[in-house]
Amino acid sequence: MYTVKDYLKYYKDVSFNNCHFNEVDNIIFTSLSYFDWTGIVGDKKINLLTAINIYLNEKKTPNTPIMKDNLENLKLMKDASRYKDCYLGNFKKILDDRQQFAAICIYSDNKVYVSFEGTDGSVIGWKEDFNLSYMFPVTTQVTAVDYLNNVITKKDRIIYVGGHSKGGNLAMTSSMYCDDSIKKRIKYVFNNDGPGFMRKQFLSKEFKEMVPKLRMFIPTESLVGLLLFGSHDYKVVESTARGINQHNYNTWKCFGSFFLEGKLSKISDKLIKRIESWYMVYDDEDFEIMITSLFKVLEDNKIKNFYDLKKMSWKDIRSIINHMSNIDSSTKKLYLEALKDFIWFNNK
């Protein structure tokens, strides 16, 4: 079955006039925020194909599954006349002890796609995702709103805002809380398997006003895209992968310019019910204590990436959790159940 790579090969010489910007192009533009364009893309616009050539000659790409796929896509884009009139601009990247943030603008005529980077797989990146369950706004969300307000000009008549994973949440957040003059010009907000909000923001007028513009995609075995409270008006997409590997949008199946629609799996449905049950039992303060404690113990044990958990024995994981002294036995049980589900989900 066809994926993003096949789309890039087939449509490489098809102009936007003959095949309009679509949900697969959205993924391709979303992927551009994952690259480090430092020294190549600044405030001034640079032709996309020119920027790609410079990047391929000067930069090294992180050796992760999603970035390996992204790099292959970038090489295909280099020779695609479809994107020859696109420009990059306003690249911004921040990585410190408070946030992991990156964003870039892709311009075409009077249109702009604002792309927010998602979680990079590090514990710091994942901690930001979990902090969304008890805190609003987190630092990255504030940065995203400021970024959108600062990069959009009067010349940008049609605005698309999108992202993958945490980037999908940032796309929604920035679209909800940006200046009114910008809101009016936003045509679509793309959330590609990104988490939702706390209940208060989910019930807010800003969320309700944004939803008609929202285009949300999640794979059949979604995990991240079903976290917290969000719109149920999403498109479930078939994938060539299993479990958490479906979070990689390069595995999503497409037919022409559309994603192939599928059905949410039983395991994703199980995880949704598990998460919903947590919100019935625990309040925001409970979540803050649990999440802070969990990530401290992960950091103390030098677990820098969640994939490191797959390499550990269940006995070692249980020992780590049971040695946590500042949480009660019922919370330890919750941690163990959640991590067991997560590891099982990843090994499917």
Mean pLDDT for each consecutive 10-residue tract of the chain (348 residues)? Answer: 94 96 98 98 97 97 91 96 97 88 95 92 70 89 98 96 97 98 98 93 97 97 86 95 89 96 87 75 75 70 64 71 67 65 49
Q: Are residues 245 and 168 in the same domain?
A: yes
| Residues of the domain holding 293 | 282-346
Q: Are residues 43 and 116 in the same domain?
A: yes
Q: Is 103 within the bounds of a domain? A: yes
pTM over 0.85: yes
Q: Is 133 within the bounds of a domain? A: yes
Q: Are residues 303 and 264 in the same domain?
A: no
Q: Are residues 174 and 302 in the same domain?
A: no
Contacts for 141 with CB less than 8 Å, ≥ 6 apart? 169, 170, 173, 174
Give the model's pLDDT for residue 345: 45
Q: Are residues 160 and 23 in the same domain?
A: yes
Give the model's pLDDT for residue 19: 96
Peptide bond into 137 cis (omega under 30): yes
Q: Is 92 within the bounds of a domain? A: yes
What is the domain-level CATH number for residue 201? 3.40.50
Q: How many domains does the chain have?
A: 2
Give the model's pLDDT for residue 276: 75
Q: Are residues 259 and 299 in the same domain?
A: no
Q: Is 276 within the bounds of a domain? A: no
Q: Which of 208, 242, 271 is the last residue of a domain?
A: 271
Q: Are residues 293 and 245 in the same domain?
A: no
Give the model's pLDDT for residue 348: 43
Q: Are residues 314 and 340 in the same domain?
A: yes
Q: Is 308 within the bounds of a domain? A: yes
Instruction: Report the alpha-carbon distance of residue 145 to residue 165 in Å, rounded.
Output: 17
Give the bridge partners for 103, in sequence order: 92, 116
Give the model's pLDDT for residue 226: 86
Q: Is 277 within the bounds of a domain? A: no
Give the model's pLDDT for residue 124: 67
Q: Are residues 263 and 300 in the same domain?
A: no
What Å distances lie between residue 267 and 90, 237, 272, 319, CA to CA? 40, 15, 9, 26
Q: Are residues 240 and 190 in the same domain?
A: yes
Dihedral of the alpha carbons of 205, 185, 187, 232, in degrees to the nearest 10: -10
Q: Which of 251, 271, 291 is the last residue of a domain?
A: 271
Q: Is 259 within the bounds of a domain? A: yes
Q: Are residues 296 and 254 in the same domain?
A: no
Give the model's pLDDT for residue 347: 46
Give the model's pLDDT for residue 285: 79
What Å distances lie between residue 298 and 291, 308, 323, 331, 342, CA to CA? 11, 10, 12, 16, 15
Q: Is 311 within the bounds of a domain? A: yes
Give the model's pLDDT for residue 346: 45
Q: Which of 271, 303, 330 is the last residue of a domain?
A: 271
Q: Are residues 102 and 212 in the same domain?
A: yes
